[in-house]
Structure 1
Amino acid sequence: MSDTLFDVDPTQVGTPEPTEKLSADRRRTLRQADALTRRRHPLELALGFPLGLHPAAAADDRTAPGLRCGTCGFRQVLTHNDGRFPKCLFAVTDKTAPRVTRGAGTDVRAWWPACRDYQAAEEAPTS
């Protein structure tokens, strides 16, 4: 038996190395990148329901060929208080746009792969 409460090697005890504190935007970007590597649409993270990718969607990198959100007619840039916010305006009903919130979590990057609801800009209905 030892004279101490716990048998611990004092050379192994210490404070953990400090880790870099990431901003909320950076953490969201990392989660979205992870979703892309798993072939999931990044907007699913903010919405809480699966969107699915279009069969002809681009791969998870920015240079691969294929359909992207930037060429979809539902992706519109909204302005508010001198800010510009790219949002997906695909609506399940005529009165709702469930893919839009007031936060950055539902901002849609142009280079993201297209979701299953993709419609080319010239084919998408306008409001």
Structure 2
Amino acid sequence: MSLKSFFKENNIKVEKVQYLASDRFKDEKGNYIYWILKVLTNQELDVIRDNCTKNIFEKHQPIQKLDSEKFAKEWIVKVIEFPNLYDKELQDNYGVMDPYDLLCEILTSGEMLALKEKINSLHEYDAKQVDDIKN
């Protein structure tokens, strides 16, 4: 084994994923419209985490507190490349001004749960792959 295996040019990039978030949306030809999801980099997750962390005082000691609900919402929105949840025309059509609120309006609760599971699976480390490599 060589460290060259870890060189940037040998790093297999994680591709974007097409995902059928809902079978209720079709194009003009009647084809399902697939959403495009991406895996966030560690740097992108750090930015979201920083945006969702507040400095507070507890017992006269400064601590950092992560707003986990806000983090989860921002993470979900940032993973979705298509449809563009930041599009003003789309937000106006649903009468919302926030990308996460738009997502909640577009999807049913069941579709939202399935989307969250898909996003989690995209970002999880697959322990089975490690077992396969060991054997």
Q: Same fold (TM over 0.5)?
A: no
* Higher fraction of helix: 2
What is the TM-score normalised by the length of structure 2?
0.22
What is the TM-score normalised by the length of structure 1?
0.23
* Higher fraction of strand: 2
Structure number with larger C-alpha Rg: 1
